[in-house]
Structure 1
């Protein structure tokens, strides 16, 4: 009965392994590390998340979106042609820092940090990342390498290499055919394990067609056995750059994980626990750090594959970890003939799945401002690099929030014929104004950034003809008033009183009214000029006129 109950998870674990092995090695090389570290990382993060992580179906591991970020941190430190051992040590330290940051953030209940990347800026960042990965892997697909720092330098180096005849035809043939098969099967037969078929076919093709003699590079024999326990190490001089990189990786990893967890929670009936997810990712990174691993994240594509294959419990991840371990212990030479161009094809296929061009088109149609944010995030990655690009994306998200608070929507309300209540005169141009009163709505918290905007709008209303006796602020959208805005209101009320105009508030929330009392604004604003509804304010003015 137990075997039957967990049978689907066992099968899903085997299916998942066929994806974990080639992608783990490919993403390790994308990060500038030996392919074997991708398998070490996959084993440890799967084990740790199965123990600590809350989701039953999420699959963690090396990720295409993190690979360029890891490379951007460690490769400048190691320098071109540097010691691979030092690169692994730095990557492990990076994983340790990410794990510590994740754990601290989880304990401090900082799961909301995922909101620092808005969808438009995340979309632009990911599209920029997809292009960066694609350009970086093209030389490997064509069988040669380039020295270039940045997207345009790498693109120029690739074009020069092709023009100078550096392409290895056999490498392009095996890599290009592998990429074509992966994409076609992913498009027309998604249940068929395209990556597995390509990997197996390429391994068999190397000796059959003498591809190594034709210039095709292979990964070679992998070390035998379980990954060794290793303490991460880095110099004090390198820790600063590693910490900055770890912060960016942490943000991207949390965002990816929570979005993926939310998508699959609806299918499994689970709730998303952001802080517990961060604790699980933190444990996965800490475990990988001590076994020559590198930072990991949740993979939406691998989770989807496992879920379609029947994964419903954490047994799937444990089976995947056990299968990879058995491969390294019993048959490490099985993958020695895997061509490097095929690994490039796996990464390129992943980069193409990252890109979301329809999403950019949708933003263009729906909201040009947010399209501009996405485009700026894309250019940040393309022009400045992966790590600065994430900084640009976060900065743009914050600026967009600030922009909305700085210049919020504001309008005047009137009463349309045949409709109850008071409504936006832009939507109802014929809405009647209340004699002697202007009703003003300001759709944002009243804070230092928009206090001047509020004051100037009210001053303009006070200068209108006929001059109002009351300016009523329909304050339901105002969720906060800070001290700068409070000082502005005090000065504005005195200025309006001198002109024979009263500043009146309607529909003010209780917490905001409490702040007004705390600021002692009722020294100038009449305490009687606070009404529960706009209708009450209108009725009061009419009685006052009588």
Structure 2
């Protein structure tokens, strides 16, 4: 039974080294300067008050520090989840801010429940449901959606309507009608320029913090509020008590569906980020433990008026560059944010809303992977098409339907690969060991009367007819072969449909004098074939342990020798 020492936070405390303390303290201070503006900006991206972003940042850092397995991973409000939260919460809240906060907190609790149950059920592999091309398209669509949604705020006005096309139309109409606030546009565009320039030329500098400080200073010195620039205002002081959100029973269904999508994106993001940082330190990644850690972070956030969270690669990189050694850095950051809320609630009262929009837009630009999309175009047109379909799903249908489209496309892409797998004939290349594809080596030698055929997929109902047709085509050659040897190592499974079809295929081939032979067939698959159907139609002697053994048997039986295909 797991004991108290098995809790990651407790285990870290007992094994903590004094030499780590100064680095973790410094990293915590640096981290807090990034978490505050981003937390407020991503809260507004989710359609929630800025203060909820700070509550969320504090509690998820503490929750993950106690139960999360990674030493340096930083969780918090995330730009990729903001639109998903807004899409789930805002239609149900119908303009009621308090109700929106309660719904978002319940959403976090549902995400926590999904993660914990998934960890108990050892479902960490579910992160693999989103392939890289699909994830690239999804993130590109999300980046465009976030960018367009923040443009009105960047220029000092708001628009009505949901969906990318309506938001673009509303923004263009607002600009045409003169709704633009000049001072707001200067602050917003200037903020983007400052952040991007600092990230480009001084990547170690806290670009977001510097921009926020400059924006507050400009608002205070020039009285930008009098020129129509909206500001954050004084944040509520104090810290909320732990509460269970009060939501309607009818809301749980839509929230649960959204929570499933958020959990999938959060898990995929966390696993990829954790893997990249763990590779640098030699740590091992356990998807199930990460699910539990994410669940703990969301549970803590949901109980304190927070919303769903995910891992941030940028914040984790900042913590690592600042010297973080353990999750104590996150605890220090959470403590500093708490002190700010309790003692200095007016610190950000003059922070202009266009500056927060600039923070979100810069984050959206980091989500987009244009270079990766171009690489897909060069390397694989089918994968590129999947990526574009995922992009269009998010952009045209919305964020929540878009994640469903992304998952379906990933699954269909796997199905496509097994439905129409790579298949080839093999031959012998002088000077090379083994047997090689005639497609790659068209001058490889073959044995007259023998066809070596490789089918790179499991045999199941969707591709069994393809396999049968390929074998029938090979058997119909002139002159017909005497043996068709299936290089069966890639055939790792077979279902009833395929077994029955193979049984009929063996009978059909024997009628025309062609033997179907299997080489390198995995023993469990062979036993399954014999149990299902094929054992009735194939002599056990026609199963060979290697392709070489099958070739040797054919040469012994026929006396054939290797020739070039042209001969």
TM-score by length of structure 1 reads: 0.98
2:416 counterpart (385, 389, 403): 403
Residues of 1 paired with 2:520 and 2:420: CA distance? Answer: 22
Distance 1:314 1:147 in 2: 42
For residue 36 of structure 1, what is the aligned residue in structure 2? Answer: 51
- Matched-pair contact (CA < 8 Å) for 2:116–2:292: yes
Alignment length, in residue pairs? 544
Q: Give the secondary-structure state (helix, strand or coil) at the position aligned to 1:335.
A: coil
Write the distance in 2 (CA, Å) between the matches of 1:466 and 1:403.
33
Counterpart in 1 of 2:154? 141
Flag the 1:421–1:309 CA change in 2: closer, same or farther, 3 A.
closer
The equivalent position to 2:288 in structure 1, one of 257, 275, 280, is: 275
- Checking the alignment, whether the CA contact within 8 Å between 1:411 and 1:440 is kept in structure 2 is yes
1:169 aligns with 2:201: no
Match of 2:359 in 1: 346
C-alpha separation between the residues in 2 aligned to 1:210 and 1:431? 80
Corresponding residue number in structure 2 for 1:380: 393
TM-score (norm 2): 0.94
- The answer (yes or no) to whether the contact 2:499–2:533 under 8 Å persists in 1 is no
Give the distance between the partners of 2:113 and 2:297, measured in 1 at CA.
Answer: 11
- Tell me if the contact between 1:96 and 1:232 (Cα under 8 Å) persists in the aligned partners: no
Q: Which residue of 1 aligns with 2:76?
A: 61
Task: Give distance in 2, aligned partners of 1:269 and 1:6.
Answer: 21
Looking at structure 2, the residues matched to 543 and 207 of structure 1 have their Cα atoms a distance apart, in angstroms, of 93
Give the SS at the match of 1:412: strand
Query: How far does the alpha carbon of each residue in 1:341-373 deviate from its partner, in whole angstroms, 9 at most, with x for none?
Result: 110010011001111111111111111111111
Aligned residue in 1 for 2:555: 542
Q: How far apart are 1:120 and its partner, in Å?
A: 0.4
Deviation at 1:239, TM superposition (A): 1.2
- Displacement of 1:418 in angstroms is 4.4
**Structure 2 unaligned spans of 5+:** 1-15, 560-567
TM alignment of 1:388-467, pairs within 5 A? 388-467=401-480
- Paired residue for 1:11? 26
The answer as to whether partners of 2:503 and 2:533 remain within 8 angstroms in 1 is no
Could you say what secondary structure the match of 1:334 adopts? Answer: coil
Per the alignment, residue 46 of structure 1 pairs with: 61
Corresponding position: 1:181 with 2:199 = no
Q: In 1, distance between residues paired with 2:552 and 2:38? A: 70
Deviates more, 1:32-41 or 1:469-478: 469-478
Please tell me whether the aligned partners of residues 500 and 533 of structure 2 are also in contact (alpha carbons under 8 angstroms).
Answer: no
* Equivalence for 2:248: 235
| TM-aligned CA deviation for residue 523 of structure 1 | 1.4
Q: Do residues 481 (structure 1) and 494 (structure 2) align?
A: yes
Shift of 1:503: 1.0
1:515 is aligned to 2:528 = yes
Alignment RMSD, CA only?
1.3
The answer to whether the 8 A contact 1:37-1:293 is kept is yes
Pairwise CA distance, 1:482 = 1.2
Q: 4+ residue runs of structure 1 moved beyond 6 angstroms?
A: none
Correspondence for 2:10 = none
Among 90, 103, 106, which residue is 2:103 paired with?
90
Aligned 8 A contact 1:124 1:374 in 2 = yes
Shift of 1:78: 1.8
Contact 1:66–1:295, Cα closer than 8 Å, also in 2:
yes
* Paired residue secondary structure (2:486): strand
Could you tell me how far apart the structure 1 residues matched to 2:139 and 2:119 are? 25
On the 8 A contact 2:426/2:435 being kept in 1, the answer is: yes
Corresponding residue to 1:293 among 295, 306, 313: 306
Equivalent residue, structure 2, for 1:493? 506
Which whole-Å CA distance do the structure 1 matches of 2:431 and 2:284 have between them?
45
SS of residue in 1 equivalent to 2:275 = helix
- Unpaired runs of 5+ residues, structure 1, are none
Paired residue secondary structure (1:332) = coil
Distance across 2 between alignment mates of 1:145 and 1:405: 48
**Equivalence for 1:156:** 169
**Pair 1:23-2:38 in alignment:** yes
For 1:130, the equivalent position in structure 2 comes to: 143
